[in-house]
């Protein structure tokens, strides 16, 4: 890894053609981008949000509080050598440990049985987003650019990606190859109009068959002096109709840290309340469903603050069995992400990583 900063994309890039444009700066997109750029290709990543990492997400509250409201922990198998790209994953995990970007989190309890069962969980003291930033150096990343349309220019045979930025201004970008490293439903929405340009119906069917469970993440903060009243360990809410998982997120932070608890709803509750206008009411309902059954102190009844985040594509329930989905068309179009590859739902990070690596290998290798 080089100690560079992401290259800002500024000005009007009209006429500037990239070898590869990657839509999505989650784990799959970042890994794919680094692999392709290392092979000499000119890569641009377009990301709709202001941050990096997708569900490797950290939210900052004030000056001294940050919390992981997406994936709660970095997972690595202990001695697991059947994963094709395990040496690279092991090298990255070792690097993150050496740089003290992650540390063992033995108290972590996953929401799904792990296969294999000997996974190790690691907390990121500076937040999970720090890992995504660690994977971004040297990459050209245009943030707050939401892809709204993709099509092939019939004259140049180049991909044109149209984006809408945070100021509601449109911009066009061109590349020889296009990678969509985003959730399958979002990829399907972008690709569907390509049926007029000959995109195979089978490709769209594969995208349409991928499904996800949603999740509502509730973040609850308290006065620093109440830290001793909080439970010392993460908890798994077994057979709870509302809560799948909850943890004292602030125990991962450098001490002293303002006490923060993070809750993940069940998919069923999230589905029923995903479009609720008043998310705060939903958040307090979920918080009470934890506080009362676990006999937490009355002092925690009214937190200092509470926030809720919607994750529409939190957990893959039906994925695509191969590490990437390539469209049978020219120029090259490939989709990748945590919805591709092995079906072990408990290790979405591993699927995203492998999908990004394998997509890059496919693009670096000449077609037979």
Per-residue model confidence as pLDDT tens digits over 252-289: 888 778 889 999 999 999 999 999 989 999 999 999 98
Decide which of 225 and 143 is more confident: 143
Contact 1, 38 (CB under 8 A): no
User: Hey, what CATH topology would domain 17-60+76-99+118-210+320-364 get?
Assistant: FAD/NAD(P)-binding domain (3.50.50)
What are the residues whose beta carbons fall under 8 Å from the beta carbon of 71, sequence distance 6 or more?
55, 56, 57, 128, 348, 349
Coil, helix or strand for 4? coil
Mean pLDDT within 56-75: 91
For 127-143, the DSSP string reads -THHHHHHT-TT-EEE-
- Name the DSSP class of 250: G
Mean pLDDT within 53-63: 92
What global pTM score does this model have?
Answer: 0.90
Decide which of 41 and 9 is more confident: 41
Of the candidates 331, 368, 315, 342, the one whose C-alpha atom is nearest the C-alpha of residue 152 is: 331
What pLDDT score was predicted for residue 84?
Answer: 55
What pLDDT score was predicted for residue 10?
Answer: 40
Rounded Cα gap, residues 308 and 218, in angstroms: 5
Q: Where are the alpha helices (DSSP H) in the chain?
A: 27-38, 86-98, 129-134, 184-191, 201-209, 267-273, 279-291, 348-364
Rounded Cα gap, residues 155 and 7, in angstroms: 30
Is it the case that residue 230 has pLDDT exceeding 50? yes
Percentage of residues of the chain with pLDDT beyond 70: 85
CATH of 213-315 among 3.40.50.11290, 3.20.20.70, 3.90.660.10, 2.60.15.10 = 3.90.660.10
- Name the DSSP class of 220: E
What pLDDT score was predicted for residue 15?
Answer: 54
> Distances in Å between the alpha carbon of 339 and those of 210, 223, 248, 361?
7, 39, 29, 18
What pLDDT score was predicted for residue 235?
Answer: 67
What pLDDT score was predicted for residue 142?
Answer: 96
Q: For residue 219, what is the enclosing H or E element?
A: strand 211-221
Pairing status of strand 235-236 against strand 243-248: antiparallel
Is it the case that residue 9 has pLDDT exceeding 80? no
Decide which of 232 and 34 is more confident: 34
Is it the case that residue 96 has pLDDT exceeding 70? yes
Contact 316, 345 (CB under 8 A): yes
Coil, helix or strand for 83? coil
For 103-124, write each residue's pLDDT tens digit.
Answer: 988 766 666 555 545 578 899 9
What pLDDT score was predicted for residue 223?
Answer: 87
What pLDDT score was predicted for residue 143?
Answer: 96
Domain boundary assignment for the chain: 17-60+76-99+118-210+320-364, 213-315
């Amino acid at each position: 890894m080089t100690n560079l900063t992401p290259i800002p994309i500024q000005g009007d890039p009209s006429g500037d053609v990239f070898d590869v444009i990657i839509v999505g700066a989650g784990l799959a997109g970042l890994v794919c981008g680094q692999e392709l750029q290392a092979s000499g290709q000119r890569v641009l990543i377009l990301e709709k949000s202001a941050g990096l990492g997708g569900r490797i997400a950290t939210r900052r509250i004030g000056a001294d509080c940050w919390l992981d409201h997406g994936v709660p922990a970095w997972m690595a198998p202990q001695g697991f050598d059947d994963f094709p790209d395990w040496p690279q994953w092991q090298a990255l995990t070792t690097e993150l440990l050496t740089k003290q970007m992650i540390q063992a989190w033995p108290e972590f309890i996953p929401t799904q049985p792990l296969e294999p069962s000997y996974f190790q969980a690691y907390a990121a003291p500076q937040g999970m987003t720090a890992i995504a930033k660690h994977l971004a150096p040297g990459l050209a990343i245009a943030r707050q650019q939401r892809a709204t349309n993709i099509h092939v220019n019939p004259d140049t045979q180049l991909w044109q990606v149209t984006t809408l930025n945070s100021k509601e201004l449109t911009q066009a970008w061109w590349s020889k190859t296009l990678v969509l490293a985003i959730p399958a439903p979002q990829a399907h929405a972008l690709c569907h109009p390509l049926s007029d340009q000959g995109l195979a119906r089978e490709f769209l069917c594969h995208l349409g068959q991928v499904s996800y469970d949603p999740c509502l993440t509730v973040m609850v903060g308290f006065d620093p002096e109440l830290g001793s009243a909080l439970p010392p360990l993460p908890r798994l809410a077994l057979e709870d109709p509302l809560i799948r998982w909850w943890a004292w997120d602030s125990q991962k932070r450098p001490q002293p840290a303002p006490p923060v608890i993070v809750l993940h709803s069940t998919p069923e509750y999230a589905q029923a309340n995903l479009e609720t206008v008043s998310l705060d009411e939903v958040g307090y309902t979920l918080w009470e469903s934890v506080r009362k059954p676990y006999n937490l102190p009355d002092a925690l009844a009214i937190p200092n603050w509470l926030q809720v985040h919607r994750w529409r594509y939190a957990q893959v329930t039906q994925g695509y069995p191969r590490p990437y989905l390539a469209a049978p068309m020219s120029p090259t179009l490939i989709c990748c992400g945590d919805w591709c590859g092995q079906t072990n739902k408990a290790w979405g990070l591993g699927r995203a990583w492998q999908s990004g690596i394998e997509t890059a290998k496919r693009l670096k290798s000449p077609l037979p």
